[in-house]
Amino acid sequence: MTGVLEVVAEPHRRLILTLLLEGEKSAGEIVAALPLSQPGVSKHLKVLKDAGLVTVRRQARQRLYRLCPDPLREIDAWLTPFRDAWNERLDALETHLDGMEET
Amino acid sequence: MTGVLEVVAEPHRRLILTLLLEGEKSAGEIVAALPLSQPGVSKHLKVLKDAGLVTVRRQARQRLYRLCPDPLREIDAWLTPFRDAWNERLDALETHLDGMEET
DNA sequence: GGGAAATATTTCTGTCAAGGAATACGAGCA
DNA sequence: TGCTCGTATTCCTTGACAGAAATATTTCCC
């Protein structure tokens, strides 16, 4: 559970992050939105918080979670060379098509 | 093990993909490059193949694995809204700084 | 065809993480 | 102070996956 990728590999956690795209949500709201028990959600929230993907703010008896997408840049960075690779494939395809056009 | 993200969450599998950025490699070469037993590597290669992340080609007694980065687009797509979110944060920061400049 | 090299598959075991139930904690309110 | 709501933590069980060792399979060479 060290890397961001591993944290994000869990479907429920991805759901939580997607939910937080709408804005800050209380733990209770997140529980209501997930097919999971309250403790289950709470545990996922802890993992996300430890990974720096969310920040918490206390307001009265509630905990408000806010998305913090910065660590996802790590995934983006990892993806970069592969993005280049698939662009090369596209380039090759275009070159091929161009070659066909000439005939 | 359904999604690409889960497949790629495994460090050894990421290592294999990174290795294949250099070009086609035989299973043996991959085994030699990883701190893992031959069967272990072979199993990971199967997972990668099932996920469509590599293609195999037989040449003599060897199996040559080639990178096929297309499924990674799925991760890229998932990342998109979060990328927007972090751009918003940057914009907010710039706006803030611009505001400070004026004073 | 027999043997050896390259790789895949099976079997087994240990580990780790996810999920649920119960419990603990903390803040606000009567 | 005691009670209740919102949330976190603990404990336990279960299932899945990673890894190693042994075995099977395929292909080449003699």
Cα–Cα distance measured from residue B71 to residue B52, given in angstroms and rounded to the nearest whole number? 7
Closest CA to B3 of B69, B52, B43: B52
Q: Are residues A66 and A80 in the same domain?
A: no
Among A15, A82, A90, most B C-beta atoms within 10 A, so best to mutate, is A82
What was the pLDDT predicted at A85?
87
Give all strands of the β-sheet with A54-59 in edge-to-edge order.
Answer: A25-26, A62-67, A54-59
Structure tokens, A101: 């056009």
Same domain, A46 and A78: no
Chain A contacts of B9, Cβ < 8 Å? 3, 5-6, 8-9
CA of A58 to C1' of D23 (A): 59
Which amino acid makes up residue A28?
A: G
Q: Does A66 touch chain B (CB under 8 A)?
A: no
CB contact under 8 A, B83 and A75: no
- Do A18 and A66 sit in the same domain of this protein? yes
Residues B36 and B1 in one domain: yes
B10: closest chain A residue by CA: A6
Return the pLDDT at B95. Answer: 81
Rounded mean pLDDT for each run of 10 residues along chain A, 103 residues in total: 92 98 97 97 98 96 96 96 84 79 66
8 Å CB contact between B92 and A99: no
Tokens representing B59?
A: 């040449």
Q: Do the beta carbons of residue A4 and residue A71 sit within 8 Å?
A: yes
The reply to whether B17 touches chain A by the CB within 8 Å rule is yes
Assigned token pair, A87: 């662009």
Same domain, B11 and B34: yes
Same-domain pairing of B42 and B78: no
Domain count for chain B, please give it.
2
pLDDT in tens, B23-66: 999 999 999 999 999 999 999 999 999 999 999 999 989 999 99
Using alpha carbons, select from B34, B33, B26 the residue that is nearest to residue B62: B26
Per-position DSSP letters for A12-70, written without gaps between them: HHHHHHHHHTT--EEHHHHHHHSSS-HHHHHHHHHHHHHTTSEEEEEETTEEEEEE--T
> Are A55 and A65 in the same domain?
yes
Residue B103 has pLDDT above 80, yes or no: no
Secondary structure (3-state) at B32: helix
B77 and A CB contact within 8 Å? no
Q: Which domain holds residue A11?
A: 1-70
A52 with A81, same domain? no
Which residues from chain B sit within 8 angstroms of residue A9, using beta carbons?
Answer: 3, 5-6, 8-9
Kindly state the DSSP code that residue B53 receives in the 8-state scheme: S
Strand D: positions under 7 A of a protein C-beta atom: 5-10, 16-23, 26-29
Residues A62 and A80 in one domain: no
Which pLDDT tens digit goes with each residue over B5-23? 999 999 999 999 999 999 9
Taking the C-alpha atoms of residue A53 and residue A55, their distance in angstroms, rounded to an integer, is 7
Shared-domain flag, residues A65 and A83:
no
Name the residue type at position A8.
Answer: V
Kindly list the residues from chain A whose CB atom is less than 8 angstroms away from the CB atom of residue B17. 82
The reply to whether A49 and A97 lie within a common domain is: no
Spatial CB neighbours of B76, under 8 Å, sequence gap ≥ 6: A79, A83
Which CATH number fits the domain that encloses residue A6?
1.10.10.10
**Is the Cβ–Cβ distance between B47 and B9 less than 8 Å?**
no
Handedness of CA A13, A16, A18, A21 (dihedral sign): negative
Residues B51 and B79 in one domain: no
